[in-house]
Amino acid sequence: MEKYRILPGSSVDLGKWDPNDKSLFDIEKSEGKKLLLQLNEELEGLQELLYAEGKNKLLIVLQAMDSGGKDGTIRHVFEGVNPQGVKVASFKVPTEKELAHDYLWRVHEHTPGNGEIVIFNRSHYEDVLVVRVHNIVSKEIWSRRYEHIRAFEKLLAEEGTTILKFYLHIDKDEQKERFQARLDEPKKNWKFSRGDLEERKLWKEYQESFQDAIEKTSTESAPWYVIPANRKWYRNLVISSIIIEKLKSLDMAFPESEEDLSGIVIE
C-alpha cells in the first residue's frame, strides 16, 4: 500500500497518477466486492479492539473533487463497524460563529478521543483549497496555513492520534459520468447542484490546490495517500487495506478483567 503514499518532501503531479490503476488488486469487480466483505469483517474486529482497549485513536481525512466518492467510501469501507466508536464529521461553509474564530477552531473539537475512529468528510484542508480557488482570502493568508496545518497535525500525533489522509483521485471524464448519473436518476437528483458545474470549470485550479496541499502537508506522522478512485470497488479495497494495516501496527490488546471471573456462574 506504500505505492500510494506521498513521502515527505516529494513533489506531487496528479496528472501522472492513474485514477484507473488497479495494480494492487488485479481482479474483477465481482471478486473485489467479495474481498471487501472479508475486509469489512476484519476492520469490524479491529475497531472493536480499538474501542475496548481505549488507548489509541484514529483520524481519517477524506478529500476529493466533487463526486469523488467521499460518502461512498464511508458507507462501504465502514459497513458493519460499531457506530458507538466511529463518528463522521462534515465541514461545510463556516457559520458566523465559526468565522469569528481561527479556521482550525471548529475542527479541533471533532478530533477523536481514546478508542474512537473519526472520519473527516472534507476537513481543515478546505481552508487551503476552496478559499484559494475562489480568492476568499489572499495568497499571503492561505499560503501560511500549510505550516499551521502541519503543526496542528503534529500536535494531534504527539498526543496519541494516528492520522491517515486520503485524496480520492478521479479524472474529469469520471466526474462527468457521475454528475450525469445524478441527473438521470430521479432519486439522485438531490445530490446535484447547478453550482457543481461552476466548480467543474475550475478543475485545473482545484488540481493545483490539491497538489500543493498534499505536497506541503504529507508528513511521517500524517501521511497523504493518493487513491485511484475511478473504480469505486478498487478505491474501497485500497483504503480498507491501509486502515487495517495501520490498526494492526498499533499492537492493541483487549484489557484484562479486573479479577478472576472463572468461578462466576450466572443464576
DSSP of 53-121, one letter per residue? H-S-EEEEEEEESTTSSHHHHHHHHTTTS-TTSEEEEE--SPPHHHHTS-TTHHHHTTS--TT-EEEEE
Determine which helix (DSSP H) or strand (DSSP E) holds 6, and give its type and residue range. strand 5-6
Q: Hey, what CATH topology would domain 2-249 get?
A: Rossmann fold (3.40.50)
Q: Residues near 248 by Cβ (< 8 Å), separated by ≥ 6?
A: 46
Tens-level pLDDT at each residue, the chain (267 residues)? 899 999 999 999 999 999 999 999 999 999 999 999 999 999 999 999 999 999 999 999 999 999 999 999 999 999 989 888 999 999 989 999 999 999 999 999 999 999 999 999 999 999 999 999 999 999 999 999 999 999 999 999 999 999 999 999 999 999 999 999 999 999 999 999 999 999 999 999 999 999 999 999 999 999 999 999 999 999 999 999 999 999 999 999 999 877 777 777 888
Domain ranges (residues) in the chain: 2-249
Answer for the pair 88, 74: CB distance below 8 angstroms, yes or no.
yes
Q: What are phi and psi of 69, to 5 degrees?
A: 110, 20
> What pLDDT score was predicted for residue 260?
76
Quote the CA–CA distance of 72 and 82 in Å, as a whole number: 18
